[in-house]
Every structure is written in C-alpha cells, then in structure tokens.
Amino acid sequence: MSTHELYTAPVDRTGWGVPMSGDTRFTWEYDDGRDRLLALYQKGKDRQWDSVTRIDWDLEVDPHDVLGIPDQALAVYGTRHWDRMSERERKELRRHSASWQFSQFMHGEQGAMITGARIVESVPDLDAKFYSATQTMDEARHVEIFSRFLREKVGMVYPINSQLQNLLNDTLADSRWDMPYLGMQVLIEGLALAAFGVMRDVTTKPLPKQILAYVMQDEARHVAFGRMALRDHYRQLSTAELREREEFVIEGCHLMRDRIRGREVWINFGIDPREVDALVDDSPYMRMFQSMLFSRIVPCVKDIGLWSERIQRAYDDMGVLDMSKADLEALMAQDEDIAERLDAERFAAEEADRRAEVDAVIDEARSAP
C-alpha cells in the first residue's frame, strides 16, 4: 500500500521545498584531520547495520497499543473528553497518538538525512565531510525503519508537524555552514535522542524497543559530531555572531517544546487544541516528558560555548536549566551499551532456541525404532 493512502490528511497539501542557499565547498587537503573526528568517522563506518536483518520485523504490534504504556500518558486521560469516549474511540486515540509521534520521528529523520547531505556539501573541512557522509547513510536507514514501522505495524501516517517544519526550514535555508549543525545536530537530534530514550525506557513492547535502541546508537554519534565541530568553530566567533546563534537556539527550543503537544491529533478527535494545551501544562506526566526532552540539548548548548546569561535565563524560564549539569558522555555511552546488551540478549536467546531445536531432533532420532 502506498504511504499516501495512510496519511491522516491529504499529503499533496503538505508538499514542501526549501530553496538552496550557501556555498558548495571543495577542499584540496586530503591528509589533515582532527583525530577525534576521524575516529568518530571510523566508528561510523564500523557501526553501519542493516535494518532488515538486525531488527526482528516478525514481532507483532497491536496498532491500538503500540508502546504498551499507561493511558495516563495521554493528555486527555481522566477528563470529560476521555470519559465520554467509547472503548473503540480510546483505542483509536492510542493509535493516532503513536502514529503522530512516530510520524514526526520519520519526518525529522528525513530532515536529518537532507541536512547531512547539506553539511557534506557546505562544510569546509574534509574530516567533517567524511563523517557527514556516514551520517547521511544512518539517517536514510532511520527513515526506512520508521516508514516501515508505520506502514506495516501501525497503518497510519501523520503529516509533518508545523513547528518541526519551521525549524527544519530555518536550519536548511540559512547560508552559514554551521547553522545546519546547530539546528540539526544540537536541537533536532538532541530532542529526538531524549524522546527516543524516554520511549525506549518505558515501552513494554519488544519491536519499538529494538527500533529506538538501535536508532539511538547511531544518534549518539551524530550529536557528538555536532559538538566537536561547533565547539571548535564557536571559539572564533564574535559576541554578536554568538548572540545570533543563541537567538536561533532559543527560538528553536520553543518550537520544539510546542511540537510535542500533538495538536493535529486532538483536532482529528474534535477537541479544541487550546484546551489540550492547558491539559498538557497541568499533566505531571507531560510536564516530566517535556522537561526530559531537553536533557540532551541543554548540556550540549553549554558544551559548544553558547552559554551567556541570556540563554541561561531562557532555559530557566522553561524550567530546564538544571539539565545543564547532565553528563553527555555518560548518556551517550549508556545509549551505546543498551543497544549492545539488547543484541546480546536477543541473539543469545535465538542461539538457545536453535540448540533446543537441534537437541529435540537428536532425541527424536535416538528414540525412533
């Protein structure tokens, strides 16, 4: 079935293009490079994987209970809207909610794929071009994974959220070569990593857990790449140039915070999204989820040198300033370890099953007359 047939709104109304901007930069220095970035490039090559074979696509998914998490995660739970819904409508709401979330992941990964290609084209350093080429392949794999999950397991796709679209547009339309790094590697990838992490840790369903854990293993390298490149570059910028980038970060963080409200879902259920905004603000679960979304962004912004009093006030107003104390290296190492442990557990179980099958065949042969 074509993806077009699965969208909740006609996809031809959501067509979108971003004008090309900035210079294409060639470099003629092929030997030089930063050791840490070249090591990350080598890791990017070593860690390429095939979603067809690494992920167990035979696992079944209930489209009306994709993540297996409590209904308290839904902003309207316990309200008059929830009380008047039939069980069939509640099941559909769960499906729409999961579809909306994974659809935004998919669209964001396409944006990351295009941004990776843009960085290859525009960044002046060869080591950064090398790594961005591996990231572009990673992001293509992620689009493939989320697209397949939505088509085969959920059966429904949402168009790109307007806030995410605006941030991608600002990221890709800026002619300065560092802005795709800042918009994608720090803001969009940082928020995605945090959202993936929350969902990976709370889901009780094996297929979403696999997908999120394996995608996060890639994304941890991408954020590290952005930190390395921008930290070096921002040491050379003037106060005025840094302020421009801080303004971009603050605006982007507000767009990302508003994105998770999922207004498109509530509109489809005839609920005023402005009312749901207030419910989101009052929901302990949603407040926790919102704040956790900045657990990767805030310490990364601090690490790359955008840490004036102004940006600290903005994060304080958003209630996420304490996230600056997070240990990014430890978080990234944890993402790597979780994916590796999941592989070890899965393939050890499969090997045990194969041994049991062989033993059963041998026992049957021995007992035959």
Q: For 245-291, write each residue's pLDDT tens digit.
A: 999 999 989 887 776 678 899 899 999 888 888 887 777 777 777 77
Q: Tell me the two tokens of residue 27.
A: 């470099």
Spell out the domain ranges in the chain: 3-10+36-367
Spell out the CATH class of 3-10+36-367.
mainly alpha
More confident residue, 286 or 319: 319
Encode pLDDT of 146-173 as tens digits: 999 999 999 999 999 888 888 888 888 8
Encode pLDDT of 177-221 as tens digits: 899 889 988 998 888 888 899 999 999 999 999 999 999 999 888
Lookup result for tokens 């709370």: 202
Q: What share of the chain is helix, strand, coil (3-state, %, to 5)?
A: 75, 0, 25
Cβ-Cβ contacts under 8 Å for 298 (sequence gap 6 or more): 315, 320, 321, 323, 324, 326
* pLDDT confidence of residue 332: 86
- Mean per-residue pLDDT for 83-93? 96
Q: How far apart are CA 303 and CA 308, in angstroms?
A: 12
